[in-house]
Amino acid sequence: MILIYALGALSVVLPLVLVPALARRVPAVRAGRPAWRLRVAVAGLTDAFGRVGAALVLLLAGCAAVVAVCWPLGEALARLEPQVDHPVFEYVHARRVATWAELNSFYTALGDRYPLKWVTGVAALVFAVLWRRRQWWVPLLAMPLQFIVEQYVQAILATMVDRGHPPTDLGTYPSGGCARIMSTFGTIAVLAMLTWRIPRAGRVALMTGVVTLVSMEGYTRIYAEKHWLTDVIGGWIFAVLLFGVTALALLVAEGRIRPPVPRAVPVRESVPTGG
């Protein structure tokens, strides 16, 4: 039992340590060559299709890339079911405590589609009102779209991998609860950052909170016996990748991805020949 509670505590502590540590590397990533190439691509797409058109192209291409990564990942994780998932499931099942199980079942419902539909709708309306003097339609489009995109990309992956589910529930690869929380609350966090001038520490705290919710959701999905362990691991990876795509599309639609600064080309000094 101590191990189960320790893992529950780790699902909270790990994001609190990991996210701020990764945030310190963001400036270096922004200055890197991949980020420069991304800005070049965004600038070209924006010139060709406009900001909204470029955002939709990136969203579709990004979703295809997520499927291309998570499909073979799911196939690989499915092969670990006998060696990893079954022992973990049996270990947890034999040590379930009624009170702890009730708490986990209560929290894990946060990742279900029904409550997140309400969160999505309310957030879309609130930010549309806050943006009434700007492009107020962006939140009205972004919030429902992230919900729909997550649902259908997850369904595509579940169909392609088709790995089955635990004997106690119908949850399969990848864990949708993790992805829905990441996508919904992550998009809300991005909209909040676009709405108000939040200092860097506040932005890091927002994303740390979102990742903590996702991490806890994965833990509760395992303890509530809704998913195999590898479903949750795949769900975490799927959640991060898909949120990255939707956040990028939102930033492009809002015009927050600046065109790249042309890099200086070193000029070679000509050496005169002769006397």
Convert the pLDDT of each residue in 14-48 to its tens digit.
999 999 999 999 988 888 998 899 999 999 999 99
In whole angstroms, give the CA distance from residue 221 to residue 243. Answer: 20
233 φψ region: left (φ > 0), alpha (ψ -120 to 50), beta (else): alpha
pTM: 0.92
Convert the pLDDT of each residue in 183-205 to its tens digit.
999 999 999 999 999 999 999 99
Residue 275 is predicted with a pLDDT of: 47
Convert the pLDDT of each residue in 105-126 to its tens digit.
999 999 999 999 999 999 999 9
Q: DSSP for 198-221?
A: --HHHHHHHHHHHHHHHHHHHHHH
Asked if residues 153 and 63 have their Cβ atoms less than 8 Å apart, the reply is yes
Contacts of 105 (CB under 8 A, 6+ apart): 220, 224
Local mean pLDDT, 10-residue blocks, the chain (275 residues):
90 96 91 90 93 94 97 96 95 93 94 95 96 88 96 96 92 94 97 95 96 97 95 97 96 88 56 52
Report how far Cα 239 is from the mean position of its chain's Cα atoms: 4
Residue 178 is predicted with a pLDDT of: 96
pLDDT, averaged across the chain: 92
207 vs 95, 187, 203, CA distance in Å? 33, 10, 6
In whole angstroms, give the CA distance from residue 245 to residue 248. Answer: 5
Residue 1 is predicted with a pLDDT of: 72
Q: Taking the C-alpha atoms of 108, 79, 70 and 149 in order, what is their torsion angle to the nearest 10 degrees?
A: -40
In whole angstroms, give the CA distance from residue 165 to residue 172. Answer: 5
H helices present in the chain, as ranges: 2-23, 26-30, 33-78, 86-94, 98-108, 113-130, 137-161, 176-195, 200-223, 229-253
